[in-house]
């Protein structure tokens, strides 16, 4: 059965879901979005995702034409119309259509709201979660907060796409980006963690997206007997780490076994990583906002 998409007040078949070529989201990447997961007929941390979306919109002075409660209801209704049990949800708000020219005031009709809800997304093949991911460090640097806050989940991902192209060219599964000072920032679409001396470390969010899965892993750390820390670290700390993994709504928790040709730990998914993967799976399949 064809999926249904919400577009500006109307639910339409996926094949009929359209925006104008003059939408500033398409023309200039002027807009925000969220990636959200549903598990076992529940949407995981829906309120937190909606909150983050409104924070991103506020940062770019974009007024979402719905209250948080209205947007939440629209997300759940989109899930219901697509019979979502386990799935991936993407609400998008663009600046809307307008004349050519990047001045947001040219988008006179107002923002457009789009919601997609479809069966589970898979960023990496299943075997990568068993055997681990191979990363390479990109020559591109993450856009610094002095230029554009990485905390804004905007429609413009070209910085990360360039890094991912580089990873593809090297035959790696993912790219690791450093910040402008040379500290580890994040992967192209995920946050990054290392395990060192029984402690879990991830970079501060000043140079990367404040991921919801990232937050969840830091909350779960104590349940598997490790301390979760936010602090800057370098590539040396990555190469010398006992374990490493990426986190993201779409990726969930992905073990990393190699970075820049260097084996991480024993070269297989580590003990702490596997414990966190298990704890995360138990949490997401038993909590969340009911869809039905």
Give the active site residues: 153
The H-assigned helical ranges of 82-200 are: 126-131, 158-169
Residue 209's closest CA among 251, 247, 259?
247
What CA–CA distance (Å, rounded) separates 267 from 256? 8
End-to-end CA separation in angstroms for the chain: 19
Alpha-carbon distance values, 189 to 11, 23, 73 (Å) = 29, 24, 27
Burial zone of 171 (CB within 10 Å; 0-12 exposed, 13-18 middle, 19+ buried): exposed
135 in the Ramachandran plot: left (φ > 0), alpha (ψ -120 to 50) or beta? beta
What are the backbone dihedrals phi and psi of residue 28, each rounded to the nearest 5 degrees, phi first?
-130, 5
Alpha-carbon dihedral angle through residues 187, 190, 192, 198, given to the nearest 10 degrees: -150
| CA gap 188, 159 in Å, rounded | 8
Distance CA 78, CA 4 (A): 7
3-state secondary structure of 85: coil
């Amino acid at each position: 059965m064809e999926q249904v998409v919400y577009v500006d007040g109307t639910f339409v078949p996926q094949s009929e879901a359209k925006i104008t070529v003059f939408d500033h989201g398409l023309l200039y990447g002027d807009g925000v979005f969220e990636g959200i997961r549903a598990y076992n007929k529940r949407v995981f941390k829906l309120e937190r995702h909606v909150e983050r979306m409104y924070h991103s919109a506020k940062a770019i002075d974009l007024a979402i034409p719905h209250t948080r409660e209205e947007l939440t209801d629209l997300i759940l209704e989109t899930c219901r119309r697509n019979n979502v049990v386990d799935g991936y949800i993407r609400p998008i708000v663009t600046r809307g259509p307008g004349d050519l020219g990047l001045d947001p005031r040219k988008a006179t009709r107002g923002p457009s709201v789009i919601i997609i809800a479809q069966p589970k997304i898979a960023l990496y093949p299943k075997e990568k979660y068993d055997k681990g991911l191979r990363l390479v460090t990109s020559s591109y640097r993450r856009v610094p907060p002095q230029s554009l806050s990485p905390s804004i989940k905007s429609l413009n991902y070209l910085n990360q796409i360039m890094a991912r192209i580089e990873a593809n060219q090297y035959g790696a599964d993912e790219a690791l980006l450093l910040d402008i000072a040379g500290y580890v920032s994040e992967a192209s679409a995920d946050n990054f963690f290392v395990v060192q001396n029984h402690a879990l470390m991830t970079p501060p969010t000043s140079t990367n997206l404040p991921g919801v899965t990232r937050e969840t892993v830091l909350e779960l750390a104590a349940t598997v007997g490790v301390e979760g820390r936010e602090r800057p670290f370098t590539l040396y700390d990555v190469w010398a780490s006992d374990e490493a993994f990426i986190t993201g709504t779409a990726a969930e928790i992905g073990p990393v076994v190699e970075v820049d040709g260097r084996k991480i730990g024993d070269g297989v998914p580590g003990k702490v990583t596997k414990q966190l993967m298990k704890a995360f799976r138990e949490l997401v399949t038993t909590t969340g906002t009911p869809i039905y």
